[in-house]
Amino acid sequence: MLRNWASTRGDAVPTIAEISFVSSGTPEADAAAEALRQRYGNVPFADAGVVVALGGDGLMLQTLHRKMGQDVPVYGMNFGSVGFLMNDYSAEDLVARLAAAKPTHIYPLEMKVRLEDGSEHVALALNEVSLFRMTYQAVKIEIIVDGHTRLEELICDGVLLSTPAGSTAYNLSAHGPILPIDSPLLALTPISPFRPRRWRGAILNNAATVTFRTREEAKRPVSAVADNVEFQHVVEVIVRENRSKRVTLLFDPGTGLDERVLSEQFRY
């Protein structure tokens, strides 16, 4: 049996006794997963106390979404191209590695959307909530923070709101700021802004509620995406952090997400 994990914040974490292996489906990842199952055993995904994910960051996000709010940690081993959320692969001493692993907790953004047809939908995002133009025309979006209009009209290709975990992903590519992983902050970043041309975004408290309202929707349709869940023809999007649905990633000592986020700021 693996020992209890204690987070750096001192909150309790579950005892881990059973491992479930998941694979991204590539031949290399499938072969490694099967070898690990033969060596360490395997329980069904629904019964897992800890999940070991073999693949890339995409598989990690999918796995975290499947275990959202269940207090089941996920330990990734990299078989992808980037592997920012993964540990190095090794079949040796896996139980000891899991016992020594350090947890990082992430809280998702909850996106509530209202569509042109009046329907309403909800989705969760661990990286970011993004709004995009659906056609060749730029979109016009009003940005409201905690009930106050901060930008009456942003003309752009899109705009995104990122968690600290997602700040090194699409947010960084859109020239948004990198946020320390344990910071109580969110990054609001425009995508190819036209007006106001010099606005480069904002850093918000993670308790903020951000509302996006689209303008001229019939002429300039907008889609909204929470990680990999998309809704088209949105007229209003409300985003806030959901503190009841946390996920837990496990990292080998000295390679945690806080160190990776810090190191990313010194890349050139």
Positions marked active-site: 57
- Residue positions counted in the chain: 268
β-pair type (247-251, 74-78): parallel
Instruction: Tokens 């080998």: give the residue.
Output: 252
Q: How far apart are CA 240 and CA 170, in angstroms?
A: 19
Report the number of secondary-structure helices (H) and strands (E) in the chain: 5, 17
- Backbone φ/ψ region at 68: left (φ over 0), alpha (ψ -120 to 50), beta: beta
> What DSSP assignment string belongs to 22-35?
EE-S-HHHHHHHHH
Q: How far is CA 94 from CA 1, 2, 35, 52, 178, in A?
A: 12, 11, 12, 10, 32
Q: 98 by DSSP, 3-state: which? A: helix
Q: With H, G, I as helix, E, B as strand and everything else as coil, classify residue 15.
A: coil
